[in-house]
Amino acid sequence: MSGKGYSGEKGLAKETGNPKGAGRPEGKGDAGERGYSVAELMAAVMARHLKDGEVAVMGAVSMIPMAACRLAQETHAPNLSYIAGGSGAVNPHLEPLVFSSCAEENLRADAVLPLADVILLEGHGQRFSVFFGGGLQIDKYGNCNLVCVGDWYNPVLKGPGTVGLPFLPRAGRAVLYTTSHNARTFVEKVDFNSGPGFLDGPETWSRQGLPGEGPALVVTPLCVFDFEEQSKVMRLKSLHPGVSREEVMGNTGFKPVLPAEVPTTPEPTLSELAILRRLDPVGVLRNLV
């Protein structure tokens, strides 16, 4: 598994050229005056989106979704369950957070499923409410690509592969994220569709009669998108503190739906931050983005 929540892997972000400035507000780390890191803000956004009683599943390099699930469990969603990547671990009791989705630390958990069972359940169609995904590229309809940049037969960049992302259409809804918001990640149309979102738009999507709702939310270092109900095109939902519309537009390779009023993403509260810092004393999230 593993497959699931791929978002900008370290090498990928570099290789696809993350322009300086993308990933603001203000770079990495403890983020000085702001008092929280971008990754912590992203985790708080995802946590608030999760509902009590839901079941979430994610893949490799899923530090932010894992922190989000832990945060949600410790605030409004004590009955949320989540499965950590290829480990098959259900509700890892991770303190501190670890980088690898398959590290032994994940197995201190409520239960551990054999991975084949997780893959079986991913096909079920009603078991998993939320699937965290991402990719080298994400397009305006929320389709993801972890396979290659350019033509598959002559790739400009060979990506690592798609693992479990093809299960995205079987989940209740998809939450997409990336740690590198730039015009190479957010493209008009993915070069290779390895994690389907709304496909070519509302007509092709509705024709499939799939069990889930499709992509619901996209969380980036600059902003949050959702999807317009009719057109299924990504819509700017909120701008992170200090980020302008122009900055988002300049780093997005397609034209998202732009409402007249776009609110600012609420900052992590002091109590959310206290929980995140307790879960993550070594600062995985503080040093990520």
Partner 1 sequence: MERTRKVMPIREAIQQFVPDRCQSLAVGGMHMHNNPMALIREVIRQNKKIKRLLTSPSADINADLLLGSGLVEEILTAYVGFEHLGLAPNFRRAVEKKTVKLLECDEPFLVYGFQAGAGGLPFIPYPKGLELNDLHKINPDLYRFTTDPYTGEQVMTAAPLRPSVALIHCQEADPYGNAIFKGGEFTDRQMILAAETVVLQVEKIVPDLVAKYGATRINVPGFLVSALVEAPYGCHPTSSHTYYRDDEEHLKAYLKACKSSESWAEYLHRHVLDISEEEYAATIGRGRLDSLRSEGVFE
Residues 217-246 touching partner 1, rule: CB under 8 A, are: none
Per CB under 8 A, 138 contacts partner 1: no
What x/- string results for residues 200 through 219 when contact with partner 1 is judged by CB under 8 A?
Answer: --------x-xx--------
Closest to partner 1 by CB, 81 vs 87, is: 87
Stretch (H or E) spanning 71 = helix 63-74
Q: Omega before 96 cis (within 30°)? A: yes
Q: Select from 10-18, 126-134, 236-244, 271-279 the region that touches partner 1 (CB under 8 A).
A: 10-18
DSSP per-residue string spanning 129-178: SEEEE--SEEETT--EE-SEEEETTEEEEE----TTGGGGGGSSEEEEE-
Spatial separation of the C-alpha atoms in residues 106 and 108, rounded to whole Å: 5
Please report whether residue 12 would count as binding partner 1 according to CB under 8 A: yes
Our CB check for partner 1 shows the closer of 8 and 239 to be 8
State the DSSP code for 263.
Answer: P
Distance CA 136, CA 48 (A): 25
- The reply on whether position 96 binds partner 1 by CB under 8 A is no
Q: Which of 80, 138, 147, 217 binds partner 1 (CB under 8 A)?
A: 147
Residues 85, 101: Cα–Cα separation, whole Å? 5
Type of residue numbered 76: H
What distances in angstroms separate CA 283 from CA 152, 175, 226, 248, one per listed residue?
A: 37, 23, 29, 27
Instruction: Pick the closer one to partner 1 by CB: 142 or 223.
Output: 142
23 binds partner 1 (CB under 8 A): no
Kindly state whether residue 11 participates in binding partner 1, applying the rule CB under 8 A: yes
Q: Residue 15 or 228: which CB sits closer to partner 1? A: 15
Which spans of this chain sit near partner 1 (rule: CB under 8 A)? 1-3, 9-12, 14-15, 60-61, 63, 86-88, 99-104, 107-108, 112, 114-116, 119, 122-125, 146-147, 152-153, 155, 157-167, 169-170, 192-196, 199, 208, 210-211
